[in-house]
Amino acid sequence: MKRYLVLALGVVLGWGVGSASAAPLNVGIVGLVHGHVAAFFGGGAMTPAGSILKRPDVELVGIVEPDQALFDRYAKEFHLSAALHFKTIAEMAAKAHPAAVLVFTSPAEHRRIVEECAGLGLSVMMEKPLAFKYDDALAMERAARRGKIHVLVDYETSWYGSNTEAAKLLEAGELGPLVNGPDLVTAMLHGEVPLSVSAVTRRLQPELYPLVDDEADILLKYKSAVVIVEASWDWPFAVKQIDVYGRTGYAKAISPSGVEVRLKGDRVETKEDARAPQAPYDDPLDYLEAVLGGLEEGDSLSSLKTNVVVTEILDAARRSAETGKTVALPLARQD
């Protein structure tokens, strides 16, 4: 696998080269209802560079959470000071002066928060997805332009060495032109919008998920490729595998570090551990710091540009599942 790892990391998905500021980055948190916030407090796979509470390059200066009991629960578990608690974003901005906020609310609240933060000059990093509705994504895009802020979306799988390696192989032409790919294809194809979206959703465990579908299969038709997205809460184990098939080879990211690759001329596939991405592409907070320091987002998986297209696809998938019909793209937009 060493021959596949010689490409400069800055090439993949349009990423550039940047450096984080030496001074700690002051960040606030908005919302505690999203379970991923626990990983930012405690560290782990979602924050490979370490807990937000223990790293010298980042300082948590405030938490906005209207539910006092919820704040108290996290405060007890992670030994958070009561002085960190604020009732509104405006109050936190005025008293604690964060440079950016991390959003752990329901996605339905993302538009409101981005619009408010844009007015305050605060950049935003949120947990996926950007939005459920394309109109909301466009509104956030407009707000970001008005406020001259960054709006980033955190995907846990962004920081997997295996996914980075698969994308690098595709970008370098090692796999040939893409024929069939994964749900990360929007970044891999530099924001290309598919021609159409077809989706089927099911509720296979209504006793566990009475209000939402727990199974979705989405088919994206591109000019020269077909992409299948399989989203499920019904698998026996956590599955985050991606398969990338080109005309001359394939790469399968089977775990955060495990990659299976077979290229033209290979008799069998090779199975190797991909190297962990290097900072600032290894961790959401490292990446946020770098972007605020001038790193170009390009077509990265976290970029607003990419995630507006992702929301367009998700909105089209929702419409397809509701009507039973294929939805043509692009969707109408009101700018």
| Residues in Cβ contact with 132 at an 8 Å cutoff, skipping those fewer than 6 apart | 107, 108, 311, 314, 315, 318
Q: Quick check: is 178 in a domain?
A: yes
168 part of a folded domain: yes
pLDDT at 30: 98
310-324: average pLDDT: 98
Per-position b or e across 96-134, b if 16+ CB within 10 A of its CB: bebbbbbbbbebeebbebbbbbbeeebbbbbbbebbbbb
Is residue 36 situated within a structural domain? no
Within a domain: residue 166?
A: yes
Q: For 325, left (φ over 0), alpha (ψ -120 to 50), or beta? A: beta
Can you tell me the mean pLDDT for 79-97?
98
pLDDT at 263 over 90: yes
Compute the average pLDDT of residues 1-6: 32
pLDDT at 56 over 90: yes
Number of domain units in the chain: 1
Query: Does a structural domain hold residue 268?
Result: yes
Q: What is the mean pLDDT of residues 41-56?
A: 95
Q: Where residue 218 sits, what CATH number does that domain have?
A: 3.30.360.10
Confirm whether 203 is domain-assigned: yes
What pLDDT is stored for residue 333 in this prediction? 84
Q: Say what the pLDDT of residue 291 is.
A: 98
Per-residue confidence (pLDDT) for residue 334, from 0 to 100: 76
Q: For residues 159-165, give the mean pLDDT.
A: 96
The pLDDT of residue 289:
97
Compute the average pLDDT of residues 129-157: 97
pLDDT(319) > 50: yes
Structure-token match 């929007």, residue found: 186
pLDDT exceeds 70 at position 2: no
Query: Quick check: 21 pLDDT over 70?
Result: no
- Give the range of the structural domain holding residue 235, as residue numbers without chain letter: 2-9+158-277
* Cα dihedral 320/321/324/325 (nearest 10): 10
320 in any annotated domain? no
78 falls within a domain: no
